[in-house]
Amino acid sequence: SLVVPSIVHLISHLHDIKQDISFCSKLVEQLQESIKTRFSGITNRLNLVDVAENDPYGDTLYFMAAVLDPAFKFYWIRDLQLPIHMENRLKQNIIQLIIDEMNKDSKKSKNDLNKVSSSSATITFTATSKVKRRKLFNYDDSNMDDSNESTTLDPTVELNAYLNDP
Protein backbone atom coordinates (compact mmCIF):
# COMPACT_ATOMS: atom_id res chain seq x y z
CA SER A 1 0.00 0.00 0.00
CA LEU A 2 3.03 2.29 0.22
CA VAL A 3 3.97 2.19 -3.46
CA VAL A 4 1.52 4.67 -4.98
CA PRO A 5 1.61 7.22 -2.12
CA SER A 6 5.43 7.08 -2.18
CA ILE A 7 5.60 7.64 -5.94
CA VAL A 8 3.07 10.47 -5.70
CA HIS A 9 5.12 12.09 -2.94
CA LEU A 10 8.32 11.80 -4.98
CA ILE A 11 6.64 13.31 -8.04
CA SER A 12 5.22 16.14 -5.95
CA HIS A 13 8.49 16.81 -4.13
CA LEU A 14 10.54 16.90 -7.34
CA HIS A 15 8.00 19.25 -8.91
CA ASP A 16 8.19 21.57 -5.89
CA ILE A 17 11.98 21.70 -5.62
CA LYS A 18 12.49 22.07 -9.37
CA GLN A 19 11.25 25.65 -9.15
CA ASP A 20 13.71 26.58 -6.38
CA ILE A 21 16.83 24.81 -7.63
CA SER A 22 19.39 26.63 -9.70
CA PHE A 23 22.32 24.21 -9.98
CA CYS A 24 20.85 20.71 -10.11
CA SER A 25 17.88 21.23 -12.39
CA LYS A 26 19.13 18.59 -14.85
CA LEU A 27 19.36 16.07 -12.01
CA VAL A 28 15.77 16.79 -10.99
CA GLU A 29 14.62 16.46 -14.62
CA GLN A 30 16.40 13.10 -14.94
CA LEU A 31 14.84 11.87 -11.70
CA GLN A 32 11.39 12.93 -12.93
CA GLU A 33 11.93 11.20 -16.25
CA SER A 34 13.23 8.08 -14.53
CA ILE A 35 10.17 7.90 -12.26
CA LYS A 36 7.89 8.43 -15.26
CA THR A 37 9.62 5.59 -17.14
CA ARG A 38 10.19 3.14 -14.31
CA PHE A 39 6.72 3.53 -12.81
CA SER A 40 4.89 4.17 -16.08
CA GLY A 41 1.87 2.11 -15.06
CA ILE A 42 1.34 4.26 -11.98
CA THR A 43 2.08 7.59 -13.67
CA ASN A 44 -0.18 6.77 -16.62
CA ARG A 45 -3.04 5.84 -14.31
CA LEU A 46 -2.47 9.03 -12.29
CA ASN A 47 -2.70 11.02 -15.52
CA LEU A 48 -5.82 9.05 -16.54
CA VAL A 49 -4.03 7.58 -19.56
CA ASP A 50 -4.61 4.01 -20.70
CA VAL A 51 -2.20 1.55 -19.10
CA ALA A 52 -0.72 -1.21 -21.23
CA GLU A 53 -0.51 -4.72 -19.79
CA ASN A 54 3.28 -4.73 -19.95
CA ASP A 55 3.75 -1.31 -18.31
CA PRO A 56 5.89 -1.53 -15.18
CA TYR A 57 3.70 -1.26 -12.08
CA GLY A 58 0.62 -1.31 -14.30
CA ASP A 59 -1.34 -3.64 -12.03
CA THR A 60 -4.44 -2.09 -10.46
CA LEU A 61 -3.49 -3.76 -7.19
CA TYR A 62 -1.14 -0.90 -6.31
CA PHE A 63 -3.97 1.64 -6.36
CA MET A 64 -6.46 -0.64 -4.65
CA ALA A 65 -4.00 -1.38 -1.84
CA ALA A 66 -3.30 2.32 -1.29
CA VAL A 67 -6.97 3.29 -1.17
CA LEU A 68 -8.02 0.33 0.98
CA ASP A 69 -5.26 0.99 3.52
CA PRO A 70 -6.90 3.10 6.26
CA ALA A 71 -3.66 5.04 6.70
CA PHE A 72 -3.86 6.38 3.14
CA LYS A 73 -7.36 6.12 1.63
CA PHE A 74 -7.37 9.06 -0.84
CA TYR A 75 -5.20 11.37 1.26
CA TRP A 76 -2.18 10.95 -1.02
CA ILE A 77 -4.06 12.46 -4.00
CA ARG A 78 -3.78 15.89 -2.38
CA ASP A 79 -0.03 15.85 -3.05
CA LEU A 80 -0.71 15.90 -6.79
CA GLN A 81 -2.40 19.31 -6.48
CA LEU A 82 -4.82 18.49 -9.28
CA PRO A 83 -7.80 20.65 -10.22
CA ILE A 84 -10.94 19.48 -8.43
CA HIS A 85 -12.54 17.93 -11.52
CA MET A 86 -9.37 15.95 -12.33
CA GLU A 87 -9.04 14.81 -8.72
CA ASN A 88 -12.66 13.63 -8.75
CA ARG A 89 -12.16 11.79 -12.05
CA LEU A 90 -9.08 10.04 -10.65
CA LYS A 91 -10.97 9.04 -7.50
CA GLN A 92 -13.91 7.74 -9.52
CA ASN A 93 -11.54 5.80 -11.76
CA ILE A 94 -9.90 4.12 -8.75
CA ILE A 95 -13.26 3.45 -7.10
CA GLN A 96 -14.44 1.79 -10.31
CA LEU A 97 -11.30 -0.40 -10.35
CA ILE A 98 -12.08 -1.56 -6.82
CA ILE A 99 -15.76 -2.17 -7.54
CA ASP A 100 -14.92 -4.16 -10.67
CA GLU A 101 -12.49 -6.30 -8.70
CA MET A 102 -15.00 -6.83 -5.89
CA ASN A 103 -17.72 -7.82 -8.35
CA LYS A 104 -15.34 -10.22 -10.08
CA ASP A 105 -14.45 -11.83 -6.75
CA SER A 106 -18.04 -12.00 -5.54
CA LYS A 107 -19.15 -13.75 -8.74
CA LYS A 108 -16.28 -16.21 -8.39
CA SER A 109 -17.05 -16.94 -4.73
CA LYS A 110 -20.76 -17.46 -5.50
CA ASN A 111 -19.85 -19.91 -8.27
CA ASP A 112 -17.46 -21.71 -5.92
CA LEU A 113 -20.13 -21.77 -3.23
CA ASN A 114 -22.66 -23.26 -5.65
CA LYS A 115 -20.16 -25.94 -6.70
CA VAL A 116 -19.41 -26.78 -3.08
CA SER A 117 -23.07 -26.92 -2.05
CA SER A 118 -24.06 -29.08 -5.04
CA SER A 119 -21.28 -31.56 -4.41
CA SER A 120 -21.50 -31.46 -0.61
CA ALA A 121 -24.28 -34.04 -0.50
CA THR A 122 -22.13 -36.66 -2.18
CA ILE A 123 -19.07 -35.71 -0.17
CA THR A 124 -20.85 -35.89 3.18
CA PHE A 125 -22.62 -39.11 2.27
CA THR A 126 -19.48 -40.96 1.20
CA ALA A 127 -17.11 -39.46 3.73
CA THR A 128 -19.15 -39.67 6.92
CA SER A 129 -16.46 -41.71 8.64
CA LYS A 130 -13.79 -39.05 8.03
CA VAL A 131 -13.71 -36.03 10.29
CA LYS A 132 -12.73 -32.98 8.29
CA ARG A 133 -10.07 -30.97 10.08
CA ARG A 134 -10.61 -27.27 10.29
CA LYS A 135 -7.79 -25.17 8.88
CA LEU A 136 -6.31 -22.40 10.99
CA PHE A 137 -7.25 -18.87 9.81
CA ASN A 138 -9.32 -20.17 6.91
CA TYR A 139 -12.03 -17.58 6.39
CA ASP A 140 -13.22 -18.93 3.05
CA ASP A 141 -16.89 -18.30 2.27
CA SER A 142 -17.43 -21.96 1.40
CA ASN A 143 -16.95 -22.93 5.06
CA MET A 144 -19.76 -20.67 6.22
CA ASP A 145 -23.43 -21.47 6.15
CA ASP A 146 -25.87 -19.59 3.91
CA SER A 147 -27.51 -17.70 6.80
CA ASN A 148 -25.39 -14.58 6.15
CA GLU A 149 -26.07 -14.52 2.42
CA SER A 150 -28.98 -12.11 2.78
CA THR A 151 -26.89 -9.63 4.81
CA THR A 152 -24.11 -9.37 2.25
CA LEU A 153 -23.93 -5.81 1.02
CA ASP A 154 -23.46 -4.62 -2.50
CA PRO A 155 -19.73 -3.98 -3.11
CA THR A 156 -20.47 -0.36 -4.02
CA VAL A 157 -22.26 0.21 -0.72
CA GLU A 158 -19.45 -1.42 1.24
CA LEU A 159 -16.78 0.67 -0.51
CA ASN A 160 -18.70 3.93 -0.02
CA ALA A 161 -19.19 3.15 3.66
CA TYR A 162 -15.46 2.48 4.04
CA LEU A 163 -14.36 5.61 2.18
CA ASN A 164 -16.79 7.83 4.10
CA ASP A 165 -15.66 6.45 7.46
CA PRO A 166 -13.20 8.89 9.05
CA pair distance 118, 35, nearest whole angstrom: 51
Among residues of the chain, what percentage have pLDDT more than 70? 70
The predicted pLDDT at position 121 comes to: 47
3-state secondary structure the chain: CCHHHHHHHHHHHHHHHHCCCCCCHHHHHHHHHHHHHHCHHHHHHHCCCCCCCCCCCCCCHHHHHHHHCCCCCCHHHHHHCCCHHHHHHHHHHHHHHHHHHHHHHHHHHHHHHHHHHHHHHHHHHHCCCCCCCCCCCCCCHHHCCHHHHHHCCCHHHHHHHHHHCC
Mean pLDDT of each 10-residue bin along the chain, 166 residues long: 90 88 90 93 90 86 91 88 92 91 74 54 49 49 46 73 77
pLDDT digits (tens, 9 = 90+) for 90-126: 999 999 999 988 888 777 656 655 555 555 444 444 4
The predicted pLDDT at position 130 comes to: 56
The predicted pLDDT at position 42 comes to: 92
> pTM of the entire structure?
0.65
φ, ψ for residue 73 (rounded to 5)?
40, -120
The predicted pLDDT at position 142 comes to: 47
List the Cα angle 45/47/48 in 5-degree steps. Answer: 60
